[in-house]
C-alpha cells in the first residue's frame, strides 16, 4: 500500500520517476481536449474520493481532471456536508470510503488526520495540503523548474516570507533532490527545527531577504496568512521586508524563475510587476498540478517507481 503523505514517502527515486512520467505524459497529450482520457487510460475503473476540510481551486480541479485523464472518475466532498463535519471519526470515514473508492485525497488542517486516514484506509491516501505540508504542490514546482531547463541538483532556491506548510515541503524536496533552499523569514515566523531537518543539511533559514535572494536560481513565496490562520496586522507588518519586488528579483541570477503556489495576494507577498512579469512561471506551475498529480496517482497504484 502506497500513501503519499509527504515527499519522503516516495523518496528520491520515486520523486524522480514521477517527474519523468509527468513530463512524458504531458508531452503525449499536448493539444488534446482536456477531458479526453490518455490513450492508455491506466486508471480505468478507478474512483478517487476527495475530502476537503479547507477551500481549494487548484487541488480540487487538478485532481478531478487528473483521475479523468487517467481513465478513472472522482467523488468530491466538502467535509462540512459529510458526517465527518459532525464529528464522525477520521478512522471510521477512512474505512467506509475504502469500501467504495480506490484512493482517497484529503485536504485538512491537522497533519495527524492524514496519518490517521492512511492508517485506517485500505486504499492509498494522498495529502492534498495540511497545516504541516503540501507535497503535491512541490511535485508541480519541481516539474516546472525542470521544464525551465534547470537541473535540480545544486540549484539555489530562495524562499521569502512565512515559514509555512509549502516551505516545509520545499525543504523536504531539497534534501531528497539535492538542491539548496535558503528561507528568509522574520522572527517568530520561521520554520521549525524539525522542518529544517527534513532538508538534510540543504535547508537554511536566514533573517535577511537579500541574503536569500542573492544568486538564487528560483525565488518562491506564498501568502502571508495561510488558511485557518487569523488575519493579523502584526504578522503582515513583520512580513513587509520579505515582499518579492523587482529590486529583490534583481539580486537573483539573471532570468531567475519566480514561483507561487497561488492563491496570491498582489501587493502583499509579491508585487504585480513580478508575479505578472516575464520571470514568473505561475500559470505553468498551476497547470503542472494536473500533470504532476497524475503521476502521483500512478505511483500510489504501483504503476511507476
Ligand atoms: N496551490 C493550491 O493548493 O491551490 P488551492 O488552494 O486552490 O488548491
Ligand atoms: N500556505 C497556504 C497554501 C495554499 C495553497 C495555505 O496553507 O493556505
Domain ranges of the chain: 7-134+289-300, 149-280
Please give the distance, rounded to the nearest whole angstrom, from the Cα atom of residue 29 to the centre of ligand 1: 24
Nearest CA to 181 out of 210, 161, 201 is that of: 201
- What are the E-state strand segments in 117-228? 125-127, 156-160, 180-184, 203-206, 218-221
Helix (H, G, I), strand (E, B) or coil at 85: helix
Among the listed residues 25, 134, 202, 298, the single catalytic one is: 134
Q: What is the mean pLDDT of residues 113-133?
A: 98
What mean pLDDT do residues 233-251 have? 98
Q: How confident is the model at residue 205, as a pLDDT?
A: 98
pTM of full prediction above 0.85: yes
Angstrom distance (rounded) from CA 305 to CA 300? 9
Q: Tens digit of pLDDT for each residue in 165-186?
A: 999 999 999 999 999 999 999 9
231, pLDDT greater than 90? no
- CATH of 7-134+289-300, picked from 3.40.50.1370, 2.60.40.10, 3.40.190.80, 3.40.50.720, is 3.40.50.1370
User: Would you say the CATH fold of 149-280 matches that of 7-134+289-300?
Assistant: yes
Q: What is the grid cell recorded at 275?
A: 508575479
Catalytic, 86? Answer: no
Cα 117 to Cα 130: distance, rounded to the nearest angstrom: 13
270 phi/psi in degrees, rounded to 5: -150, 145
Q: What is the tens place of the pLDDT at every residue in 45-89?
A: 999 999 999 999 999 999 999 999 999 999 999 999 999 999 999
Check: CB of residue 79 under 8 Å from CB of residue 113: no
Q: Annotated catalytic, 134?
A: yes
Rounded CA-CA distance 172/72 in Å is 30
What CATH number belongs to 149-280?
A: 3.40.50.1370
Ligand 2 mutation target, pool 52, 109, 166, 168, most atoms within 8 A of CB: 166
Amino acid at each position: 500500500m502506497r500513501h503519499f503523505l509527504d515527499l519522503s514517502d516516495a523518496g528520491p527515486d520515486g520523486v524522480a520517476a514521477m517527474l519523468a512520467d509527468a513530463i512524458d505524459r504531458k508531452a503525449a497529450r499536448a493539444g488534446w481536449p482536456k477531458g479526453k482520457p490518455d490513450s492508455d487510460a491506466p486508471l480505468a475503473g478507478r474512483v478517487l474520493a476527495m475530502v476537503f476540510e479547507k477551500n481549494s481551486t487548484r487541488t480540487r480541479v487538478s485532481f478531478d481532471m487528473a483521475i479523468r485523464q487517467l481513465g478513472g472518475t472522482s467523488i468530491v466532498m466538502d467535509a462540512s456536508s459529510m458526517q465527518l463535519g459532525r464529528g464522525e471519526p477520521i478512522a471510521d470515514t477512512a474505512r467506509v470510503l475504502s469500501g467504495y473508492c480506490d484512493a482517497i485525497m484529503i485536504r485538512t488542517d491537522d497533519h495527524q488526520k492524514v496519518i490517521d486516514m492512511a492508517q485506517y484506509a485500505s486504499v492509498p491516501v494522498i495529502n492534498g495540503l495540511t497545516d504541516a505540508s503540501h507535497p503535491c504542490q512541490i511535485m508541480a514546482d519541481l516539474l516546472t523548474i525542470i521544464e525551465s531547463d534547470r537541473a535540480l541538483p545544486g540549484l539555489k532556491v530562495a524562499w521569502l516570507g512565512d515559514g509555512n506548510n509549502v516551505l516545509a515541503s520545499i525543504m523536504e524536496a531539497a534534501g531528497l533532490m539535492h538542491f539548496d533552499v535558503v528561507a528568509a523569514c522574520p522572527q517568530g515566523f520561521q520554520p521549525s527545527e524539525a522542518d529544517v531537518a527534513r532538508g538534510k543539511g540543504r535547508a537554511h533559514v536566514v533573517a535577511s531577504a537579500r541574503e536569500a535572494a542573492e544568486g538564487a536560481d528560483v525565488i518562491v513565496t506564498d501568502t502571508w496568512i495561510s488558511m485557518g490562520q487569523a488575519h493579523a496586522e502584526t504578522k503582515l507588518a513583520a512580513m513587509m521586508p520579505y515582499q518579492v519586488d523587482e529590486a529583490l528579483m534583481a539580486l537573483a541570477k539573471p532570468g531567475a524563475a519566480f514561483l507561487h503556489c497561488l492563491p496570491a495576494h498582489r501587493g502583499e507577498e509579491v508585487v504585480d510587476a513580478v508575479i505578472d512579469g516575464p520571470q514568473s512561471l505561475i500559470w505553468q506551475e498551476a497547470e503542472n498540478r494536473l500533470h504532476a498529480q497524475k503521476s502521483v496517482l500512478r505511483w500510489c497504484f504501483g504503476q511507476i517507481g
